[in-house]
Each structure stands twice: as structure tokens, then as C-alpha cells.
């Protein structure tokens, strides 16, 4: 952090502390972080134990609002590196490529959210409220700003403990103010994920598919399932063959096509798409 950035951040800190417990805390927190390193799009989200996405404060740029209010809020968040990392216990400063799967920028998820919304770089903080609820403070950059430089990342990492402490003080009992749920849409996404491919794939192949769709790289899928990476690759090859696919991106496209269709609980959303086996 440069001396001028440190001075600006320190100058805003007393005012930020004064907002603790008030509705002005979130914008003041983002302003404090902005003094350390600028960003032009941000959102604060919580992941309570009931499984709903809680949007605490939305300061996303205009180009990001449609994608966030549509595909992301409709269920894409359940496959996001932020949510998966938060639920896995990752805490502190993050850069998206540090917590995302291998080849993330070539993935269908990246194309569906980042590329379509004009986001060129993304970092932030994964912290907890006072009751342990995971909270993501997402700091994005559009083409109006360059990608985060190494020094800027170090500057943000240096305030991670301060940000975490402020969040715990503001929400000592969890997310009780300034929040809005997603209307339970996550339950349909989870149901589609569980039923996806059940008419075509074996139970173990479905285990692999569900982890692939959640962003796990091959080694992590194999480790989770207690199999070798070679066996995982054989399962993946069989999955692609049975579903008529040729790539990871095609699997994502097929899943999001399934999400767009009317869903009957317990029924494979792919039923009727392929000839009987």
C-alpha cells in the first residue's frame, strides 16, 4: 500500500467505526476498502445456514446488474467459486483465480457471468459475522480499470483482518438487518443438480458430474470420491459419450439448458432428450 493510500484509508476509518450497527456501515466499508485500492463494482453477500443467498449491499456497476439479478440470483451463485470456497471454510483475502477451478477463464461459468457482464478482474474478502455466517465482499473491476496488480493485492490482503473484525462487530448475531433472500430458488437448482442425468448415468458418474458442475478440478473430484485421477478421467469420458458432449463447457451449457426447462421433482431434466438406452 502506498503512503497516500494508507493515509486515505486511515482517514476514513474513524467514520467507518462510527457507522457500526447502522444502515450506513456497508457503503462506508466499501469506501474504506476503495481508499486502499480502487474498484468500480462491488457487492456484499451472505450465505446463512438455511441455504439462501442473502444480498446485503448491492453496489455493482450498471452492466453487472442484469446478469446478477437474473442468472446469478436464479441459481448460478450455487456454482460460484465464492460460495463453494466460503462453505469450504476459506477465509481472508482472495483473488478469483486463487479460489476458482483450473482453466476457470475458459469455463462456461466464466462466459455466463464474467465475460457477459464486462468484469475483467475480481477479488475480495471471505469473512464471518459474529455467529459464524460466511460473508463475501466482492470487489470487481470493469474495463475502466486495469487488472489488479500484485501490489494492490498485497494492500488488500493487509487489511483483511481489519475488515473481518469490523464485520463481526457490525453483525454480532448474524445477518439480521439490510438483507434480502433469493425466494428459495436455490432449492430448485439443487433439485435439478441432484436429478441431472439420472436416466442416463450411473450413480458414480452422477457423483462426478455434480462435482464437475460445482467447479471441482479432476484431482479434487478424485480425492472427494476416493478414486484415482485415471478412474475419474474414465468416468468423465463415459459421461461425455453418454450425453453426446465433447467438453466441460458443453456440460455446463447442458446443465443451464436444463435449469431453463420446467422441472418435475425427482425426474431427470434430460429425460426425453436422448433415445432410450
pLDDT at 90: 92
Give the model's pLDDT for residue 19. Answer: 95
**Domains recognised in the chain with CATH numbers:** 3-170 (3.30.450.80), 185-259 (1.10.10.10)
Q: What is the pLDDT along the chain (277 residues), one digit of tens a residue?
A: 666 777 787 888 999 999 999 999 999 999 999 999 999 999 999 988 777 788 999 998 887 777 677 667 767 787 788 888 888 889 999 999 888 876 677 666 677 677 667 788 999 999 999 999 999 999 999 999 999 999 999 999 999 999 999 999 999 998 864 445 544 555 677 788 889 999 999 999 999 998 888 767 778 788 889 999 999 999 999 999 999 988 776 787 788 778 767 778 888 888 877 766 5
Residue 178's pLDDT is 44
| Amino acid 215: pLDDT | 66
Q: Is the overall model pTM greater than 0.85, yes or no? A: no
User: 267 phi and psi, to 5 degrees?
Assistant: -100, 135
Taking CA atoms, 113 is separated from 71, 142, 143, 186, in Å, by 8, 13, 15, 17
What pLDDT is stored for residue 2 in this prediction? 66
Q: What is the pLDDT of residue 105?
A: 72
Q: What is the pLDDT of residue 176?
A: 66
* Residue-wise pLDDT tens digits, 192-246: 888 999 999 999 999 999 888 876 777 878 888 999 999 999 999 999 999 998 8
Amino acid at each position: 500500500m502506498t503512503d497516500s493510500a494508507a493515509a486515505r484509508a486511515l482517514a476514513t476509518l474513524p467514520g467507518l467505526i462510527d457507522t457500526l450497527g447502522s444502515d450506513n456501515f456497508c457503503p462506508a466499508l466499501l469506501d474504506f476498502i476503495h481508499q486502499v485500492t480502487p474498484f468500480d463494482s462491488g457487492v456484499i453477500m451472505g450465505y446463512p445456514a438455511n441455504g439462501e443467498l442473502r444480498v446485503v449491499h448491492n453496489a455493482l456497476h450498471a452492466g453487472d446488474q442484469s446478469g446478477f439479478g437474473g442468472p446469478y440470483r436464479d441459481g448460478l451463485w450455487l456454482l460460484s467459486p465464492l460460495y463453494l470456497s466460503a462453505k469450504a471454510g476459506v477465509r481472508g483475502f482472495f483473488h478469483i483465480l486463487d479460489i476458482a477451478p483450473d482453466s476457470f477463464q475458459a469455463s462456461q461459468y466464466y462466459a455466463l457471468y464474467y465475460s457477459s457482464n464486462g468484469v475483467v478482474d475480481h477479488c475480495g474478502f471471505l469473512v464471518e459475522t459474529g455467529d459464524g455466517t460466511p460473508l463475501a465482499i466482492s470487489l470487481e473491476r470493469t474495463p475502466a480499470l486495469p487488472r489488479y496488480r500484485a501490489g494492490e493485492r498485497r494492500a488488500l490482503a493487509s487489511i483483511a483482518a481489519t475488515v473481518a473484525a469490523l464485520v463481526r462487530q457490525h453483525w454480532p448475531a448474524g445477518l439480521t438487518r439490510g438483507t434480502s433472500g433469493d425466494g428459495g430458488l436455490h432449492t430448485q437448482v439443487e433439485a435439478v443438480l441432484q436429478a441431472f442425468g439420472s436416466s442416463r448415468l450411473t450413480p458414480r458418474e452422477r457423483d462426478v458430474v455434480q462435482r464437475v458442475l460445482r467447479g471441482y478440478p479432476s484431482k479434487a473430484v478424485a480425492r472427494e470420491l476416493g478414486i484415482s485421477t485415471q478412474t475419474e478421467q474414465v468416468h468423465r469420458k463415459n459421461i461425455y459419450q453418454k450425453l453426446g458432449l465433447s467438453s466441460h463447457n458443453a456440460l455446463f451449457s447442458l446443465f443451464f439448458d436444463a435449469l431453463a426447462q420446467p422441472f418435475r421433482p425427482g425426474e431427470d431434466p434430460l429425460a426425453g432428450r436422448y433415445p432410450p438406452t
